[in-house]
A = this chain, B = another copy of it.
Amino acid sequence: MASTIFACSEPSPSQPSTDEGAPGQTYPDSVYDFLAIPKTDKLSAASKRALERNYAQGPEWFIEFTKSDLKGDFAYEEGVTRRDPSDLIKVGDTYYVYYTKTVGKSYGFGTGDPEKKVFPWDKSEVWYATSQDGWTWKEEGLAVGRGEAGAYDDRSVFTPQVMTHEDKYILVYQTVKAPYVNRVKNQVGMAISDSPEGPFKKLSAPILSPTDDGEWDGEEDSRFNVKSQGSFDSHKVHDPTLLHYKGKFYLYYKGERMGEHKTFGGREIKWGVAISDKLTGPYVKSEYNPITNSGHELCVWKYDGGVAALIITDGPERNTLQWSPDGINFEIKSHVKSGPEAAGLDQSLDFEASPVAALQWGLTHEYVTGDWQVIRRFDARKSFNP
């Protein structure tokens, strides 16, 4: 039975020691009471987990979402895919967003025709659109196109993210070099402009590449046949997001592994971070990678001196909000029912106003069909705002 009535926020009890799961661990009476666990030696496995994993945290990070169709050029258009919205930046009274745009059906691998589009994000470009109210969007045009034949980005550029820094507008995005085969290793590019409308000037080389340490097995074009899988990002680096944090540039990204397998959390997708003193690199991958064990499209933002992350799609910690004090060591702060995929946040919001202030609204994408995807809006459900 569902109920739509909720209690107001209330303070959570003091947390147990972080030495979780140690033998003989005891917890304050307030924790047992908060968790509705009788203080006896007859604890179910679930109650033991609730104590050990600190399920007595309060609702400060808890949030739920609604999703809505958008108007103007972001209304659904059959035959066109718009997806992977970047964060939103507000310049004057105008919102800007950058996104993946492609047209035409996808045919998958193995057609024998190397020109045929394999995925909805193949043969794509980064476009941008503007809005005054966040609801009606006008598609303005191309922001970053594909490179010339033979360039590292000659097949596809997609999943953009935007950052403003010292009067510059910086885009980071994923790139693929032709031919688009199962074993292609995509990279991350960067382009910089003096205006949100461009022109965006590409750096001459990618700023991030897969870790070069797995080994394919045989010659067949299969991404599942490997002698060794290598690092979590041995195959692909995806969905880059750049933060200027602690005086350095933190390039967060999703890794895909050669010979990907499935686990009890579905796809084995994890995130990493690469750090540079300079905006244009070189970006050095953290020795602590992977920094998540779950996730998919990146969604990170600065909060309270640390970095917050919305982890939705894959892995054992899917559907969580997490926070790290240092941009690297992320702890679970809440478990949401579901959330916006590929979320783009409104960078003009006051992210410090509350743990979930960054998530009050933004853009997301959804699959209408396997071929056509559409950008929609997400909003926080008002009744869940702390």
Contacts and interface: CB of A to CB of B under 8 A. Distances in A.
A49 B293 contact: yes
Interface residues of A, number: 101
Interface in A144-194: 158-159, 174
**Chain A interface SS verdict (over half):** loop
Interface string A242-273: 00000000000011010111111111101000
Interface stretch (A55-63, A70-78, A125-133, A345-353): A55-63
A121 interface: yes
A111 interface: no
Interface string A293-337: 110110000000000000001111111001010001111111111
Contacts of A262: 6-7, 9-10, 58-59, 62
A64 interface: yes
Copies of this polypeptide in the complex: 2
B264 A335 contact: yes
A337 B324 contact: no
A224 B8 contact: yes
A11 to B, nearest CB: 10
A52 B21 contact: yes
A284 to B, nearest CB: 13
Given A45-B331, A57-B264, A330-B44, A293 B238 contact: no
15 contacts: A21-B21, A36-B255, A36-B257, A38-B231, A38-B287, A38-B289, A45-B331, A59-B264, A60-B264, A61-B264, A264-B335, A265-B335, A316-B335, A319-B319, A319-B337
Given A10-B261, A45-B324, A264-B332, 7 more contacts: A1-B174, A34-B263, A46-B330, A50-B316, A57-B264, A265-B334, A318-B319
Interface of A: 1-10, 12, 20-23, 33-38, 40, 42-47, 49-50, 52-53, 55-62, 64, 84, 119, 121, 158-159, 174, 223-224, 229, 231-232, 238-239, 254-255, 257, 259-268, 270, 287-294, 296-297, 313-319, 322, 324, 328-338, 341, 367, 370
